[in-house]
Homo-oligomer: A and B are copies of this chain.
Amino acid sequence: MSVATAAAFSFRVKDLTLAESGRHQLRLAENEMPGLMALRAEFGESKPLKGARIAGSLHMTVQTAVLIETLVTLGAEVRWASCNIFSTQDEAAAAVVVGPNGTPEAPAGVPVFAWKGETLEEYWWCAAQIFDWSAEAAATGADFTGPNLILDDGGDATMLVHKGREFEEAGAVPADSGDDSHEYKVILDLLRASLAESSDRYTTIGSEILGVTEETTTGVHRLYELARDNALLFPAINVNDSVTKSKFDNKYGIRHSLPDGLNRATDVLIGGKVCFVAGYGDVGKGAAEALKGQGARVIVSEVDPINALQAAMDGFQVATLSSVVDQIDILVTGTGNLNVVTVDDLVGLKHLAIVANVGHFDNEIDMAGLEALEGAERIEIKPQVHEWRLPTGRSILVLSEGRLMNLGNATGHPSFVMSNSFTNQVLAQIELFTKQSEYPTGVYVLPKHLDEKVARLHLDALGVELTTLTPEQAAYIGVPVEGPYKLDHYRY
């Protein structure tokens, strides 16, 4: 059984229909991901990733499929898992497995270990598969065990290697403490089984890895902690803090997907409504702009006085939630903090007010408190849309059970936004693979000229004509003609 067939099996591709549907969607998405397509054009021949063995752990969506095929076009071998048990789009996975010219029987694509609705046990089994490159080694007679690069989103793949090595060094996997989460127990079981089979699997794998590129705030946070504790095994590039990532997907992604999710969930007219946006960071800025653009009246809350002043200067009323709660038709939270919306707030809202989280985990809203509220009753209007009847006699509509509604009620960030993020990922992979000496173990952001390059690759698609500095002008402001143009602390 070929590697790809195994992957196909693992992925449970049943027939060509799914893959063909996925292929159509890939084609449309490619048109919206000009950054990735430009990298294919620029590097498709020189193949700077030839020799790269990439273990990818990132939502297995149509956009990720375009990313994976870009990595392959640049010469890389790839194995892939999702980083979330629900986020896989099966048709995208199928298309990637089958490949542009393959069939379900003779898949010619990339081994993908992901399907929509994995159990936690399945999820971590999939994660382990992206580190098992024995089939690839056997196929080529090469002498390696695992990947030499990780492309990560949230840090699960990176964590698996670090934990695996840690327990191998200790010679034992700790027993479950009573307090461990179910998920942590699953991980310990997996690594316990691995240790029983091999005393140095993850030690070897870790030693082969040249670095990791990480997509998210959470994953980056873990990396800085590892670095601070001198526990980081290999260099890491923090893709999250590229301007073309953080200032684009947060702001412009939410501007797009918040109203989209509200509409799909409720069909309620946004115009004329009183909307409250908790938080005026990039997410809140995008949310507020979108709602204003639909004719809503927007009230904002903030804890940071600088952001609060920005909100005021942008024309928004800035108030605490509790002081205006009884005027609110649509409540949006985008802070990254917890308990931003309390049960008291929920109970105080207008009848049938809509509650939408676009920030972070479901704990932005005190969903646990709502569930524990005596006399509250939950009625499913449709999947991801629940009416909660409150003891007051009023009801509220909670979207996606308090989780990210732009994912749960809409389809997350559009392709064009993801193209910016993923172009950063690919450039970061090339950096780590081709300039190893420049990146000793540590955590880095991409150099600004690459951040600018990501932007540059997305201009043509929008019909943007860039102006070129004259040498005289470049000298006058002390930058190269071709950039980078700004100091590191420039805020955009």
Contacts and interface: CB of A to CB of B under 8 A. Distances in A.
Interface of A: 24-25, 28, 31-32, 241, 243-244, 246-248, 252, 255-256, 259-260, 263-264, 266-274, 278, 289-290, 292-298, 301-321, 323, 327, 336-340, 351-352, 379, 381, 387, 397, 410-411, 414-417, 451-453, 455-456, 458-459, 462-470, 472-473, 476-477, 483, 485-486, 488-489, 491-492
Q: Which of A32, A270, A309 has the most CB of B within 10 A?
A: A309
A327 B455 contact: no
A63 B308 CA distance: 24
Nearest to A285: B492
Contacts of A473: 337-340
Given A351-B31, A452-B304, A313 B465 contact: no
A387 B483 CA distance: 37
A278 B337 CA distance: 39
19 contacts: A25-B381, A28-B266, A28-B352, A255-B294, A255-B295, A256-B269, A268-B415, A269-B415, A289-B295, A302-B466, A303-B467, A305-B459, A306-B452, A306-B492, A308-B466, A309-B459, A318-B464, A319-B465, A339-B473
B256 A270 contact: yes
A312 B24 contact: no
A237 to B, nearest CB: 15
Contact of A477 (B337, B468, B476): B337
B315 A292 contact: yes
A243 B491 contact: yes
A445 to B, nearest CB: 8
A108 B266 CA distance: 28
Given A303-B467, A473-B338, A473-B339, A295 B314 contact: yes
A417 B294 CA distance: 14
A316 B491 CA distance: 20
Contacts of A259: 259-260, 263
A244 B271 CA distance: 15
B248 A455 contact: no
A268 B309 contact: no
Contact of A312 (B263, B268, B337, B462): B462
Contacts of A256: 263, 269-271, 294
Contact of A489 (B255, B319, B489): B489
A272 B241 contact: no
Contacts of A303: 466-469, 485
Nearest to A478: B221
A28 B314 CA distance: 24
Contacts of A387: 24, 28
A304 B485 contact: yes
Contact of A463 (B320, B327, B489): B327
A271 B247 contact: no
A255 B452 CA distance: 26
A305 B263 contact: no
Contacts of A417: 269
B472 A338 contact: yes
Contact of A248 (B268, B313, B451, B467): B313
Contact of A455 (B260, B270, B305, B476): B305
A315 B337 contact: no
A455 B306 contact: yes
Given A315-B296, A381-B24, A465 B320 contact: yes
Contacts of A453: 305
Query: What 7 pairs between A and B have smallest CB-CB spacing?
Result: A293-B293, A305-B455, A269-B414, A305-B456, A269-B416, A318-B464, A260-B263
